[in-house]
């Protein structure tokens, strides 16, 4: 049974439940949406924070009704429409970021005789960063320098996600150095201590 059919049956039962305040039902529960995140784990999306507080009183009733159809007591979180939209936006940005990063992976790099050396050197940084530091890639515009640098970042983050890697343009780095000097900040020193690898473009 899908979360939609469960929710429709649940609303039908709640509308007839004497323990449920009908004003709360009509204003919030009937207009809410139930989303199944994973098996037996649900999010109930209501229209406002006031509605969330009111509906929360009836979570035991809602849980028991869901249990009738799933044979398990569910985990239910209540969030507002606004919170749900924010979370969807964050999830969308994460998915887009992953897609963009993967586009600049080594797998998608078109290499031939003219850039084989640069490709191998970039891959060597992934396999043994300490041995290939610093690596300087020079060439005309449009030959794949940025792609290779982003590919290094992508591969290291994938292979060792606990390592901190920062990709930054030289212009942005220059601005941050000047700003740090003017403000007496130790931001650059913190970078040097905390980062495993810094990649300049």
Q: Which residue has the tokens 């030959």?
A: 143
pLDDT the model gives residue 180 = 76
Fold of 3-89: GMP Synthetase; Chain A, domain 3 (3.30.300)
CATH architecture of 104-200: 3-Layer(aba) Sandwich (3.40)
pLDDT the model gives residue 187 = 67
Q: Which residue has the tokens 């999830």?
A: 91
pLDDT the model gives residue 4 = 58
CA–centroid distance for 198 within its chain: 22
Alpha-carbon gap, residue 149 to 152, rounded angstroms: 5
pLDDT the model gives residue 62 = 85
pLDDT the model gives residue 18 = 77
From the list 106, 89, 96, 88, the residue with the least C-alpha distance to 158 is 106
Spell out, as residue ranges, where the chain has pLDDT lower than 70.
1-4, 90-102, 187-188, 190-194, 200-201
Residues 164/194, Cβ–Cβ less than 8 Å: yes
pLDDT the model gives residue 93 = 57
Q: pLDDT tens digits, residue range 84-130?
A: 887 777 665 555 555 556 677 777 788 777 788 888 888 888 888 77
Handedness of CA 2, 4, 5, 6 (dihedral sign): positive
pLDDT the model gives residue 173 = 76
pLDDT the model gives residue 90 = 64
Domain residues of the chain, as ranges?
Answer: 3-89, 104-200
Residues 95/86, Cβ–Cβ less than 8 Å: no
The structure tokens listed for 79 are 């969030």
pLDDT the model gives residue 83 = 85
Which secondary-structure segment (H or E) carries 184?
none
Handedness of CA 23, 29, 30, 31 (dihedral sign): positive
Alpha-carbon gap, residue 51 to 83, rounded angstroms: 13
On the CB side of 103, how many CA atoms lie within 13 Å of its CA?
7
Residues 40/6, Cβ–Cβ less than 8 Å: no
């Amino acid at each position: 049974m899908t979360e939609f059919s469960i929710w429709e049956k649940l609303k039908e039962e709640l509308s007839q439940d004497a323990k449920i305040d009908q004003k709360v039902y009509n204003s919030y529960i009937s207009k809410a949406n139930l989303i199944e995140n994973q098996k037996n784990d649900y999010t109930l999306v209501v229209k406002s924070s006031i509605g969330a507080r009111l509906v929360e009183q009836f979570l035991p009733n809602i849980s028991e009704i869901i249990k009738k159809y799933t044979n398990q007591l569910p985990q239910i979180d209540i969030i507002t429409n606004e919170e749900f939209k924010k979370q969807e936006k964050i999830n969308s940005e994460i998915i887009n970021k992953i897609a963009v990063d993967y586009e600049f992976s080594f797998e998608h790099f078109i290499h031939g005789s003219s850039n084989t050396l640069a490709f191998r050197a970039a891959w060597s940084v992934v396999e043994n960063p300490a041995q290939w530091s610093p690596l300087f890639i020079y060439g005309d515009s449009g030959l794949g320098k940025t792609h290779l640098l982003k590919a290094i970042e992508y591969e290291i983050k994938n292979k060792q996600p606990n390592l901190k890697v920062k990709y930054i343009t030289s212009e942005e780095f220059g601005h941050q150095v000047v700003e740090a000097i003017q403000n007496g900040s130790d931001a650059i020193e913190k970078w040097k201590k905390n980062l495993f690898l810094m990649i300049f473009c």
